[in-house]
Structure 1
Amino acid sequence: MLDRIRVGSAPDSWGVWFADDPVQVPWRRFLDEVADAGYRWIELGPYGYLPTDPVRLRDETARRGLSVSAGTVFTALHRGPAVWDATWEHVSRVAALARDTGARHLVVIPSFWRDDRTAERLEDPELTPEQWRLLAAGTERLAREVRDAYGLEIVVHPHADTHIDTEEHVTRFLDATDPDLVRLCLDTGHYAYCGGDSVRLIETYGERIGYLHLKQVDPDVLADVVARGTAFGPAVRQGVMCEPPRGVPALEPVLAAAARLDVDLFAIVEQDMYPCAPDAPLPIARRTRAFLRSCGA
C-alpha cells in the first residue's frame, strides 16, 4: 500500500539546526547513526553541516548505503525584488550540491516573523495583500529558475512562526500560486502545531503535495506553548515535538491518505530536538523507523 513512499531522516532528527555548533552531533556520527537506524535517504540539513564538496559527500553517503533526497533553503520572498540577488546566491549553493548528490527536490522554508530564540517580533505575523502578491510571484520565479538551472523541484514548507503556517495561510498560498510550478512539503508536525489537519489537506490539495516531513507534536506541551505565546525555538527546547506515536497527528492515516495519491513521495522524519544530548537521537531514530515499518512504510 505504501510502496511509493520512500522513508528517510534528516540532521534535524539529530538535533542539528546550524552548519557549525559545538553542541551538535558531528556530521560523521550523524551519517553513521542514520544508516544504523535503518534509513536510506537523508536531507542535507543546514548548508555546510555535511561536506559541501559533492564528490566527497557522495562517497561518504554511498559507503553507508545512503542517498540524498533534498536540500533546504530559507527565503523571504514576500520582501520583493530587493532580496532576490541574496536569495539566489544562497539558493544556488544549496541547489548545486543537491543536484550533484542526486537529489531532485529543494525544500523552501519562509523566513520567521519572530526570532526563534528570543521571540522578538521581527515583522508583522500577517502579510499585506501586496506582500502576498510578492510572495506568490517570487516563489513562482524561484521554482522556474531552480528547475531551469538545476533540474530540481521546489517544495514549500509551511512552518511555525512564518507567514505560511495555518490552514488559512497555506490554502491562500496554494490558491495564489501556479500548481504546475509550486508544490508543498507538508510537515505534519508543523501543520498540527499551527492547528491544521494534514489528512484534510492531502485529501483537498493532493495534487499540490510534493514531499512529506513526518513529525508529531505533544498536545499538552503545545497547549502551554499556545497559551504563553512561546516562540518556536523555546517551544522545541520545551519538548513540543515528540517521538511517534506519542503525539499528534496520528501518522497511520496521514500515510494512508498520501498512499491514495498514488505518486512517488519522500517521507522524511524530522523530530526537532535542538539542542539535545548526543546519545539521545539514535535510540529514538531506531524506534521511529520500527514504528513506521509497523505502519507499512
Structure 2
Amino acid sequence: MTNPSPRRPAPPPSASPQPSRIRVGSAPDSWGVWFPDDPRQVPWQRFLDEVAGAGYGWIELGPYGYLPTDPGLLAEETGSRGLRVSAATVFTGLHHGPAGWERTWAHVAENAALAQAMGAEHLVVIPSFWRDDRTGEVLEDRTLTAEQWRQLTGLTERLGHEVRERYGLRIVVHPHADTHLDTEENVTRFLDATDPDLVALCLDTGHYAYCGGDSVKLIETYGERIGYLHLKQVDPAVLARVVAEELPFGPAVAQGVMCEPPAGVPALEPVLDAARALDVDLFAIVEQDMYPCEPDAPYPIAERTRRFLRSCGV
C-alpha cells in the first residue's frame, strides 16, 4: 500500500483590495453651468437628477445661487438623490491687496457658510481673471509685480486661516487659465511662498495642461500640497488653435477645448496613480467646461465618464 501524497498547505487567503481613498464626484460645470441664472443652463433640479443618475455621489455647489441657498431645502434635495456636497467655489482678487479684502470676504462668507451647513470640508479658491473670459477685454497686466505677489500669497494665507477658524473648511487654491496662477512657474512660485498648513492646491488637470503644466510631475513634486483634484482633459488640436489665436478662455471652451475623457490630455490613469500613491483622502471632481451646451448633451457624457473612471479604479 502506498503512502498518501503529503498534504500541501492551503494557500494564504488573498488580501482584500484596499478601498480607494479617492472619492469621485461631478459639478454643475459639467452640465454647462457657469452662472447663478442663465436661460441657456439646465434647471438645478435636472442637474441633481442627472448627476445622481450618472452614478456620482458627490457634487460641488457651483455658482452661488444656482442651487438652493437655503441649507434645509438643499439638504432635502441632495439627500433624496443620495448626493453629498464636497466643496463650494469662490473667485478672489487677493493680489489687489487689503482694499479688496472686505468685498472678497463677503463673497467667501456666503459660500463658506452654505458649504459648512452642507457638511463640506473644502472651499475652492480661484484667482480673478486678468482678461474677461468671454470678451477677451484685458482687465490688467497678465504678470504680477513683486508687491502683488506678496499681497496674493499673504492674503491667501489669511483667507486660509479665517476660513478654517470661522467655518472649519480647508481652502484649496485652483490654478486657472487666464489668471495669474496658470503655468508651472507661477504655480510653483505660489506654493513655495505659502504656508502648507494654511494653503493647499486644487489641481485641475485640464487647466494645468491648458497652461503647459504636467500634472503627474506636480503631484510627485508637491504631493503634500495637493488637497483636491478636478479631473479634466484638453483637446490638443483645439488648444493649439486657441494658443495661436490668443483666444480667451470662454471662446476656447465654446470651441470644445475641454473634451470628454479619455479623448484628450493629460491621460488620467497616470494622474490617478500618482494621486493614489500619496495615500491620502482626496476628492476627484469631474469638471468638463461646456458653457454653453445643448441641455441633452451632458448626461450621456457624464455616464460615459463615470464608467471610464471606474475602469481607472475609482
Does the pair score TM above 0.5? yes
Counterpart CA distance in 2 for 1:98 and 1:261 is 26
Indicate the RMSD between aligned Cα atoms, in angstroms.
0.6
- The aligned residue for residue 274 of structure 2 is 257
User: Which amino acid in the other structure matches residue 60 of structure 2?
Assistant: E
Find the counterpart in structure 2 of residue 79 from structure 1: 96
Residue 165 of structure 1 aligns to a residue in which SS? coil
Give the match's secondary structure for 1:61. Answer: helix
Partner of 1:237: 254
Q: C-alpha distance in 1, partners of 2:107/2:197?
A: 24
- The 8 Å contact of residues 155 and 185 in structure 1, kept in 2 or not, is answered as yes
Tell me which of 107, 113, 116 is aligned to 2:133. 116
Matched residues in 1 for 2:162 and 2:19: separation? 32
Residue 220 of structure 1: how far off its partner (Å): 0.2
SS in 2 for 1:160: coil
Conserved 8 A contact 1:184-1:210 = yes
For 1:1-297, list aligned pairs within 5 A: 3-297=20-314
2:14 counterpart residue number: none
* Counterpart Cα distance in 2 of 1:24 and 1:2: 36
Q: Once the two structures are superposed, what CA deviation does each residue of 1:57-94 show, in whole Å capped at 9, x if it has no partner?
A: 01100000000000000000000000000111110000
SS in 1 for 2:285: strand
- SS of the residue corresponding to residue 279 of structure 1 reads coil
Structure 2 gap segments, 5+ residues each: 1-17
**TM-score, normalising length: structure 2:** 0.94
The count of corresponding residues between Structure 1 and Structure 2 is 297
What is the CA–CA distance in structure 2 between the aligned matches of 1:62 and 1:102, rounded to whole Å?
Answer: 12
Q: CA shift at 1:2, angstroms?
A: 6.6
Q: CA shift at 1:133, angstroms?
A: 0.2
- Whole-Å Cα distance in 2 between the matches of residues 70 and 187 of structure 1? 14
Percent identity for Structure 1 against Structure 2: 79
Q: Any runs of at least 4 consecutive aligned residues in structure 1 with deviations exceeding 3 A, and if so which?
A: none
Distance 1:174 1:155 in 2: 11
Q: Tell me the TM-score normalised to structure 1 length.
A: 0.99
SS in 2 for 1:17: coil
